[in-house]
Amino acid sequence: MTDKDLRLGVNIDHVATIRNARGGGHPDPVRAARQAAAAGADGITAHLREDRRHISDDDIQRLIQSIELPLNFEMAATQEMLQIALRHRPHAACIVPEKRQEVTTEGGLDADRGREVLKPYCDRLAEAGIRVSLFIDPDSRQLEAARALGAPVVELHTGAYCEAFIEDMEGPRARDELVRIQDAAKLAADLGLECHAGHGLTYDSVKPVAAIASLVELNIGHFLIGEAIYVGLDSAIKRMRAIMDEARADGLGARRA
């Protein structure tokens, strides 16, 4: 990796959402993961939710057995999920907050107030050789807490920025939310944390985020699976990859100029 490389993790949860709408095995998220790898994804992300609304236990087992890309296992901080992670030993585990009623992961973890609860999870996962990541809002208190917890990686929640971007991409709210992400990514690097980001990113909203030099990975799911309906997963991923690479190169060029 150089400072110009930006990894793309493809979240395949919503392939399972479509499968589960009818039951049965089609479409298979593991097939989507293989296709994502062939299209240039650097990793696969899957969230085993407590209510199993999309990804299933069997999906996780098959992903571990059959994909070569690193698996980023998103999990709530529960004993059940910890045991599953320890059994499968994915490359990475991203601890996310989880509420049963939410449609998607609505905000970041409160790593600051949740230090005592999170510490044993971070420690057990790290002891098992799993790279721990905490999904947090772009906020200095949360970053300091992640470092205190010994997590090597943080993933910044880009949802507030993406919502503001949809409302008015050039408006003050989108700009402020982007600055929060830029500042948090810089602080993460200063604290020695590897910094990822994701949630709600699209071909358009990804550009200013991909230009942030200290971000090393973006995790993108819903938009890519939605686009795949129109253009196929392969094309959607290749286009996202190209946009990310171009934005990163432009960002580096602008900093040098």
Could you say whether residue 94 binds ligand PXP (CB under 6 A)?
yes
d(CA 234, CA 236): 6
In the region spanning residues 26 to 55, those forming contacts with ligand PXP, defined by CB under 6 A, are 47
Could you say whether residue 182 binds ligand PXP (CB under 6 A)?
no
Cβ closest to ligand PXP, residue 74 vs residue 112:
74
Q: How far is the CB of 251 from ligand PXP (least distance, A)?
A: 21
Q: Is-catalytic flag, 47?
A: yes
Q: At what angle do helices 140-148 and 172-190 cross, to 10 degrees?
A: 30
**Which one among 35, 142, 182, 219 touches ligand PXP, defined by CB under 6 A?**
219
The DSSP code sequence of 205-242 is THHHHHT-TTEEEEEE-HHHHHHHHHH-HHHHHHHHHH
Could you say whether residue 96 binds ligand PXP (CB under 6 A)?
yes
d(CA 207, CA 29): 27
Contact segment (CB under 6 A) with ligand PXP among 84-92, 116-124, 221-229, 246-254 equals: 221-229
Could you say whether residue 202 binds ligand PXP (CB under 6 A)?
no
d(CA 242, CA 89): 31
**Which one among 29, 138, 208, 221 touches ligand PXP, defined by CB under 6 A?**
221
Q: Among residues 14, 88, 196, 199, which one is catalytic?
A: 199
CB neighbour burial string for 187-212, b if at least 16 within 10 angstroms, e if fewer: bbbeeebbbbbbbbbbbebbbbbbbb
d(CA 219, CA 69): 14
Could you say whether residue 198 binds ligand PXP (CB under 6 A)?
yes
Could you say whether residue 200 binds ligand PXP (CB under 6 A)?
yes
Alpha helices in 154-205 (DSSP H): 159-167, 172-190
Contact segment (CB under 6 A) with ligand PXP among 110-118, 119-127, 184-192, 214-222 equals: 214-222
Contact segment (CB under 6 A) with ligand PXP among 57-65, 209-217, 218-226, 227-235 equals: 218-226
Q: Among residues 14, 54, 74, 177, which one is catalytic?
A: 74
209 φ/ψ angles, rounded to the nearest 5 degrees: -75, -45
Q: Is-catalytic flag, 26?
A: no
Which single residue is written with the structure tokens 């810089």?
186
Which residues are annotated as catalytic? 47, 74, 199
Please give the residue ranges that form the binding site for ligand PXP (CB under 6 A).
Answer: 11, 47, 74, 94, 96, 104-105, 135, 155, 198-201, 219-223
